């Protein structure tokens, strides 16, 4: 299959890029792992991610996987 965009990384930035690409009807492939981001999971608190306040990294990972 041919892709318009290849996204390297499945963390929050990569997933945001994937959402934006799909909104624009692009064929995408995301290279990453199922854990989304090891650094994200270790974060005790995230206070500034796209309007989400005071969430742990683990809970943000769970929310991102459920999208």
- pLDDT tens digits along 20-38: 999 999 999 999 887 777 8
Kindly provide the b/e burial profile for residues 15-34, where b requires at least 16 CB atoms within 10 angstroms of the residue's own CB.
bebbeebeeeeeebebeeee
Question: Is the Cβ–Cβ distance between 64 and 12 less than 8 Å?
Answer: yes
Give the confidence band of 17 by pLDDT, cuts at 50, 70, 90. Answer: very high
Q: What range does the domain containing 27 cover?
A: 5-65
Q: What does the alpha-carbon distance between residue 67 and residue 55 come to, in Å, rounded to a whole number? A: 16
Q: Total structural domains in the chain?
A: 1
Provide the token pair at 62: 């769970």
Confidence label for 4 from pLDDT (cuts 50, 70 and 90): very high
Q: Where is 62: in which H helix or E strand? A: helix 57-65
């Amino acid at each position: 299959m041919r892709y318009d965009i290849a996204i390297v990384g499945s963390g929050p930035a990569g997933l945001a890029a994937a959402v934006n690409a799909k909104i624009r009807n692009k064929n995408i492939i995301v290279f990453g792992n199922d854990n989304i981001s090891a650094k994200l999971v270790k974060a005790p608190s995230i206070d500034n991610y796209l309007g989400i306040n005071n969430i742990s990294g683990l809970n943000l990972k769970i929310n991102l996987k459920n999208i």
